[in-house]
């Protein structure tokens, strides 16, 4: 879900630049910075971004270059600035009176700057400075930037998905390596039990001992876990190939794969199988890390 997109559009002499950056996030976290004059389009820009981005921490930066002359082709002022003369005079008189009362003489430039900084003395950009042509250019630039970042993410996503499926293939290969050790493990467990009994020197019924060992070995059987793990891996491939935005679902399937790998390890009771399980876990962690980047 990481990506970058940039586009520009013009309305008369005014050039509008839109930059979009995205990072990984489970939900859509959208931050929008734009000139106050264009706040009228805030909801429309956010809606357009949400339709395309869906997930991720998304930062949208909109910049306006008024160009030479500061006007647009449709006659709108590039920056509408007005001074409230009545309020200016009120603040001016109050500051002069305050200086006289405290025995302080204002320097004319400092006094002027202080008055101009007072609230509501200077009105900056206003919505009236934006016309239909400006708004149309803005949405054109937004659409262009979204198209660029979507293309960026599609390209990156294809690479990441190929890498993830490679790790799934390794898990499947490791799963196939369990079988030989599994067969040898049964005989090893039986021999270990008989050896322990002989060391104790207790007489036991051979038939009863064989029944107990069969029961014990059945509790350690991992056939069910192997079948479920193979099915989860196959389903992972199916979802990856068939769904447009499979990231969330693949994350859930990865959790199920992890459960089967953990159960396989806890029931293995064999050093060789444990080494294989560790390899599977390593591959699964790589998958989980990459899934954070997939929509």
| 24 and 90 inside one domain | no
| 200 and 177 inside one domain | yes
Averaged pLDDT score across all residues of the chain: 85
The CATH number of whichever domain residue 58 belongs to comes to 3.30.230
125 or 96: which leads in pLDDT:
96
Classify strands 56-65 and 14-23 as parallel, antiparallel or unpaired.
antiparallel
| 106 and 43 inside one domain | no
| 234 and 195 inside one domain | yes
Please state, in angstroms and rounded to a whole number, the distance separating the CA atoms of residues 290 and 295.
11
Kindly state the DSSP code that residue 8 receives in the 8-state scheme.
Answer: E
| 109 and 168 inside one domain | no
220 or 89: which leads in pLDDT:
89
CA distances from 145 to 22, 123, 158, 252, 266 (A): 12, 31, 20, 31, 50
pTM for this predicted structure: 0.65
- Percentage of the chain modeled with pLDDT above 70: 90
| 184 and 281 inside one domain | yes
| 24 and 91 inside one domain | no
Per-residue pLDDT reduced to its tens digit, 201-245: 777 777 776 776 766 777 778 899 999 999 999 999 999 999 888
Pick the most confident of 190-194, 204-208, 256-260. 256-260
51 pLDDT band, cuts 50/70/90, is very high
72 pLDDT band, cuts 50/70/90, is very low
127 pLDDT band, cuts 50/70/90, is very low
Please state, in angstroms and rounded to a whole number, the distance separating the CA atoms of residues 240 and 237.
5
Whether the Cβ atoms of residue 8 and residue 138 lie closer than 8 Å to each other = no
Q: Is the pLDDT of residue 69 over 60?
A: no
Residue whose tokens read 């996030």: 25
- How high is the pLDDT of residue 109? 83
Helix residue ranges per DSSP H, 117-242:
132-176, 178-200, 206-219, 223-242
| 191 and 241 inside one domain | yes
Phi, psi of 84 (to 5 degrees): -80, 100
140 pLDDT band, cuts 50/70/90, is very high
CA distances from 200 to 214, 220, 271 (A): 21, 24, 25
Range of lowest pLDDT (36-45, 57-66, 124-133, 157-166) = 124-133
| 169 and 271 inside one domain | yes
| 271 and 256 inside one domain | yes
Domain total in the chain: 3
DSSP 225-241: HHHHHHHHHHHHHHHHH
- How high is the pLDDT of residue 294? 85
Give me the residues paired with residue 77 across strands: 71
Token couple for 229: 């793990």
Please state, in angstroms and rounded to a whole number, the distance separating the CA atoms of residues 259 and 263.
6
253 or 54: which leads in pLDDT:
253
295 pLDDT band, cuts 50/70/90, is confident
The answer for residues whose C-beta is within 8 angstroms of residue 286's C-beta and 6 or more apart is 167
Task: Name the residue range of residue 114's domain.
Answer: 82-123
| 12 and 108 inside one domain | no
| 201 and 246 inside one domain | yes
């Amino acid at each position: 879900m990481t990506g970058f997109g940039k586009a520009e559009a013009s309305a008369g002499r005014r050039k509008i630049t839109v930059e979009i950056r995205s990072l990984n996030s489970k939900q859509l976290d959208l931050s929008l910075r734009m000139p106050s004059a264009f706040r009228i389009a805030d909801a429309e820009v956010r809606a357009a971004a949400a339709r395309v981005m869906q997930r991720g921490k998304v930062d949208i930066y909109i910049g306006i270059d008024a160009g030479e002359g500061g006007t647009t082709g449709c006659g709108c002022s590039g920056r509408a600035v007005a001074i409230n003369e009545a309020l200016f005079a009120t603040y001016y008189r109050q500051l002069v009176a305050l200086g006289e009362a405290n025995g302080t003489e204002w320097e004319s430039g400092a006094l002027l700057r202080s008055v101009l900084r007072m609230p509501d003395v200077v009105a900056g950009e206003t919505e009236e400075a934006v016309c239909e042509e400006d708004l149309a250019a803005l949405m054109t630039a937004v659409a262009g930037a979204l198209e660029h970042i979507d293309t960026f993410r599609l390209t990156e996503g294809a690479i990441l998905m190929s890498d993830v499926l490679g790790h799934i293939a390794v898990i499947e290969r490791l799963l196939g390596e369990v079988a030989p050790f599994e067969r040898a493990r049964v005989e090893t467990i039986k021999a270990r039990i008989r050896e322990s009994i002989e060391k104790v020197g207790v007489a036991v019924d051979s038939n009863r001992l064989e029944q107990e060992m069969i029961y014990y070995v059945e509790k350690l059987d991992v056939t069910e876990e192997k079948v479920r793990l193979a099915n989860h891996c196959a389903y992972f491939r199916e979802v990856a190939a068939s769904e447009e935005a499979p990231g969330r679902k693949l994350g859930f399937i990865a959790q199920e794969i992890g459960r089967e790998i953990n159960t396989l390890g806890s029931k293995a009771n064999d050093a060789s199988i444990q080494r294989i399980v560790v390899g599977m876990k390593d591959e699964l962690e790589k998958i989980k890390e990459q899934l954070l980047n997939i929509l």
